[in-house]
């Protein structure tokens, strides 16, 4: 997983010029699973840099998305949803979020408009109150799912939950208040030059984006615990000689043989569907035709096994 040292990234690029008063820096999105953090980051960036799904715990790594403006460069660090960890993977994700919080200029705490504030939110609010040096902005997300009265109620409830630098209602789906969110977050960044080249929307390597797109495709239609059990690794990715085609060899890991059967489906039908959904997304991302070889493998109980976690790339983050 990510080697998270944002300080290393604070090296200014040799930019020819940037306007006086230009701001740049990092905002971290935190909140319970499934509250719309990744969807909101994608909407602000203007491109899908993180996968999303209606399954909790979709995001498992910190993903950086970059918002370019005339007056600022805002680097959003999307994090895995915080919840009570039940596995070693869960614990690692939890500590990943904690280590991210101390490195950013502003924290955005996401709470959905349509759900009552629960124990999970209270727990996170308490954690954030301990980050005394970093301003926290509360974002009430998914406002399109409820009526205006409910949004007002939720704004009030959130204001009682802690001390916030600002509270902003927003809907990524409806494009409501996206500029306001960006304005508010940029207002908390220090003055300084851009940290990423113009137009760069993420610093995720292509292999990682591809693996995530395959995982996203595989989440559709699976139930219960299975989404948690799926991990994807791109083993090899290279342009085929003399052809406008990229060959991608990827492995989709599950934890048990019974899950393997589910993912593959009757006569391989499900796996073929996942492959073609993923391929369409990957071709759009890479701007090239793609041959995707997708194998399903079992890595027994990988979420609880330190060795397997390392193999699947979840070790460098703590
Ligand atoms: N109606 C509506 N749905 C939204 C909005 N934002 C996100 N969603 C949906 O909510 C679900 C969760 O979105 P994600 O962005 O994956 O949530 P997350 O907070 O990143 O979840 P984790 O990565 O699991 O922590 C998805 O099905 C999204 O399509 C919104 O503004 N309006
Ligand atoms: Mg997410």
Span 116-147, pLDDT tens digits:
999 999 989 988 998 888 999 999 999 999 99
Looking at residue 13, its pLDDT comes to: 65
Q: Any idea how long the chain is?
A: 318
Average pLDDT of every residue of the chain: 91
- Is there a contact between 289 and 255 (Cβ–Cβ < 8 Å)? no
* HSE (side-chain half, CA atoms, 13 Å) at 18: 22
128: number of Cβ within 10 Å: 20
pLDDT average, residue stretch 173-178:
98
Return residue ranges of the chain for CATH 3.30.300.20.
206-311
**Rounded distance from Cα 241 to ligand 2 centre (Å):** 36
What is d(CA 187, CA 168) in angstroms, rounded to the nearest whole number?
14
CA separation for the pair 80, 35 (Å, rounded): 11
**Over 60: is that where the pLDDT of 98 sits?**
yes
Sign of torsion over alpha carbons 274, 279, 280, 282: positive
Ligand 2 centroid to residue 187 C-alpha, Å: 24
Q: In this structure, which residue's CA is closest to atom 30 in ligand 1?
A: 142
φ, ψ dihedrals at 110, nearest 5°: -100, 130
| Residue 86: burial class (beta carbons within 10 Å; 0-12, 13-18, 19+) | exposed
For 76-96, what is the mean pLDDT? Answer: 84
> Residues of CATH 3.40.50.300 domain(s) within the chain?
6-187
What is this structure's pTM? Answer: 0.90
Q: What's the CATH number of domain 206-311, 1.20.1250.20, 3.40.47.10, 3.30.300.20, 3.90.700.10?
A: 3.30.300.20
What residue's CA is closest to ligand 1, atom 14?
36
Q: Whose CA is nearest to atom 6 of ligand 1?
A: 36
CATH fold label, 6-187: Rossmann fold (3.40.50)
Radius of gyration of the CA atoms of the chain, in A = 20
Q: Which of 205, 27, 8, 36 is nearest to 112 (CA)?
A: 36
CA-based torsion, 201, 206, 212, 213: positive or negative: positive
pLDDT beyond 80 at 317: no
């Amino acid at each position: 997983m990510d080697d998270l040292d944002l300080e290393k990234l604070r090296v200014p690029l040799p930019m020819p010029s940037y306007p006086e008063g230009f701001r740049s820096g990092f905002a971290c999105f935190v909140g319970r699973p499934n509250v719309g953090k990744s969807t909101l980051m994608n909407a602000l960036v203007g491109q899908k840099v993180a996968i999303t799904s209606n399954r909790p715990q979709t995001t498992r790594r910190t993903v950086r998305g970059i918002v370019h403006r005339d007056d600022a460069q805002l680097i959003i660090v999307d994090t895995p949803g915080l919840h009570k960890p039940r596995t070693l993977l869960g614990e690692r994700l939890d500590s990943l979020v904690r280590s991210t919080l101390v490195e950013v200029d502003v924290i955005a705490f996401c709470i959905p408009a349509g759900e009552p504030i629960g124990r999970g939110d209270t727990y996170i609010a308490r954690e954030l109150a301990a980050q005394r040096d970093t301003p926290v902005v509360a974002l009430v997300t998914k406002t399109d799912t409820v009526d205006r009265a409910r949004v007002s109620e939720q704004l009030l409830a959130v204001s009682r939950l802690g001390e916030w630098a600002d509270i902003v209602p927003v809907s990524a789906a409806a494009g409501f208040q996206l500029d306001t969110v960006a304005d508010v977050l940029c207002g908390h960044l220090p003055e300084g030059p851009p940290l990423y080249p113009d137009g760069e929307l993420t610093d995720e390597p292509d292999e990682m984006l591809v693996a995530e797109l395959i995982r996203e495709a595989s989440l559709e239609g699976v139930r219960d615990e299975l989404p948690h059990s799926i991990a994807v690794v791109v083993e090899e990715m290279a342009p085929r000689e003399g052809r406008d085609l990229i060959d991608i060899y990827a492995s989709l890991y599950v934890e048990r043989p019974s899950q393997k059967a589910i993912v593959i489906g009757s006569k391989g039908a499900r796996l073929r569907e996942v492959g073609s959904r993923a391929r369409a997304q990957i071709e759009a991302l890479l701007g090239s035709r793609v041959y995707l070889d997708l194998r399903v493998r079992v890595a027994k109980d990988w979420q609880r096994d330190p060795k397997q976690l390392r193999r699947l790339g979840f070790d460098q983050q703590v």
